[in-house]
Amino acid sequence: MSGLNSRASEARRSLPVSQADAANMALAVALGKRGLGQCWPNPSVGAVIVDPSSGRIISCGWTSPGGRPHAEANALADAGEAARGATLYATLEPCAHWGKTPPCSDGIIASGIARVVYGVVDPDPRVAGKGIARLRAHGIEVAAGPMTAEARWLALGHELRLTANRPFIQLKLAVDAAGFVPVGDGAPVWATGGEARARAHLLRAEADAILVGHGTVTADDPDLTCRLPGLAWRSPVRVVLSSNAELSSKARMLGNLETAPVWVICAVDAPKANIARLETAGAICMFAATGPDGRLDPRAVARALAERGITRLLVEGGPSVAASFFTAGLVDEAVIVTGGERVTGPIIRPFGSPGLEIITANPQYRLSTERFAGADRWTVYRRADMGQG
């Protein structure tokens, strides 16, 4: 490459992004959130095509349920000829590989898009910079960012699955005004009101899988589906940790397998008769290593789920599961919902003996959201070293 060309290409690389770019990327991030929980093992990506001279939004796209078509392909299909000369915003670098669908970068090149703004580089080794290089090689101007933190957060499950062999892990805790969790006696007991519970169901809709311990099933017999009107189809895979495969085949969640599957994670030496009984009841049993205490090792559990394609895991309790994931460094985000009143009846601490301060007063976590849901306080703490979207 001549000196002039190489300087010109560097200038293109470092072109500043504008306020309009930030607004369009924010829209792409919001669109990408629509696919959370629906695309695994693929990431959910958002894409927007904009006419740069008028600022008009030509089309929008996000990754389809099941992971394909990809976001850019959806946006390009909608834009048709209008994509010529336009700018495409994508939360993730457009792909460069032939998978079950052709590479998005080829579609972008063919469409006549003039400029691409992407959120984060795709950590998938089949892509990892090759999409950007391919676009540039065809004379398309490519700029990184803005909103990289938000775009990274959106694809964090994908990133962690590929780089750390585990999903992005959210821990949800609902506590009463004094920071205690009520204990169920065969049915759930609520520390928080209806609005917070509806929001919690949205978390389920955005998760690939939801996980509880066997103890929670015994105490609450929960359904773990998403019960927001019209959103049952977004219910995550339900995962129960049961080292001895002792989950009752009468558990309520085994009664509605058409809504979402139930995966039971057991120790390698779990009694075969129990496994056969659960499989007859429709559960899918899988195995993970146990720690010296005989309990399932949360790292092995996370790895088993990542190997099955899970990118976003919502952990809903109870205290020993919460404590084991926290102690293993496997809580990326804690969603703490605090009720306005104290509950009467049996209570426990959310992590066994420690209280919420192990998250709320922990310098490794940062308060990223604080709002009210009805009378309840809804706070989100994110690991400081993770994307802050």
Question: Which active-site residues does the annotation give?
Answer: 72
Nearer to ligand AOF, 94 or 350 (CB): 94
Contact call for residue 94 and ligand AOF (CB under 6 A): yes
Question: How is residue 148 written in tokens?
Answer: 């990289």
Which of 24, 38, 59, 63 is close enough to bind ligand AOF by CB under 6 A?
63
Contact call for residue 86 and ligand AOF (CB under 6 A): no
298 binds, among ligand AOF, Zn ion, none (CB under 5 to 8 A by kind): none
Tokens 């919690």 correspond to 200
What stretch of H or E contains 352?
A: none
Is residue 156 within 8 Å of residue 126, measured between CB atoms?
Answer: no
Contact call for residue 95 and ligand AOF (CB under 6 A): yes
> Which span sits near Zn ion by CB under 5 A: 89-97, 150-158, 181-189, 370-378?
89-97
For residue 17, how many other CB atoms are within 10 A of its CB?
15
Nearer to Zn ion, 104 or 305 (CB): 104
339 binds, among Zn ion, ligand AOF, none (CB under 5 to 8 A by kind): none
Residue whose C-alpha is closest to residue 377's, from 123, 113, 176, 229 = 176
Which of 83, 95, 203, 373 is close enough to bind Zn ion by CB under 5 A?
95
Which of 70, 204, 238, 299 is close enough to bind Zn ion by CB under 5 A?
70
What stretch of H or E contains 89?
A: strand 87-92
Which of 47, 60, 104, 254 is close enough to bind Zn ion by CB under 5 A?
104
- Tell the smallest beta-carbon distance from residue 93 to Zn ion (Å): 9
Amino acid at 309: G
Phi-psi region of 117 (alpha: psi -120 to 50; beta: other; left: phi over 0): beta
Is residue 327 within 8 Å of residue 351, measured between CB atoms?
Answer: no
Contact call for residue 88 and Zn ion (CB under 5 A): no
Q: How far apart are CA 207 and CA 242, in angstroms?
A: 21
Please report the beta strands in 242-326, taking only residues with DSSP state E, as ranges in sequence order. 262-267, 284-288, 312-315
Three-state SS at 263: strand
Is residue 124 within 8 Å of residue 64, measured between CB atoms?
Answer: no
Contact call for residue 306 and ligand AOF (CB under 6 A): no
Nearer to ligand AOF, 42 or 59 (CB): 42
- Tell the smallest beta-carbon distance from residue 115 to Zn ion (Å): 18
| Torsion of the alpha carbons at 153, 158, 159 and 162, rounded to the nearest 10 | 170
Contact call for residue 113 and Zn ion (CB under 5 A): no
Contact call for residue 132 and Zn ion (CB under 5 A): no
Compose the 352-381 pattern: x for residues touching Zn ion by CB under 5 A, - for all others.
Answer: ------------------------------
**Residues ≥6 apart with Cβ < 8 Å to 380:** 333, 334, 335, 336, 367, 368, 369, 370
Q: How far apart are CA 235 and CA 201, in angstroms?
A: 9
Site for ligand AOF in 121-140 (CB under 6 A): 122, 124, 127
Which of 37, 43, 179, 213 is close enough to bind ligand AOF by CB under 6 A?
43
Contact call for residue 143 and ligand AOF (CB under 6 A): no
Give the residues lining the site for ligand AOF (CB under 6 A).
Answer: 42-43, 45, 63, 67-68, 70-72, 92, 94-95, 99-101, 104, 122, 124, 127
Give the residues lining the site for Zn ion (CB under 5 A).
Answer: 70, 95, 104
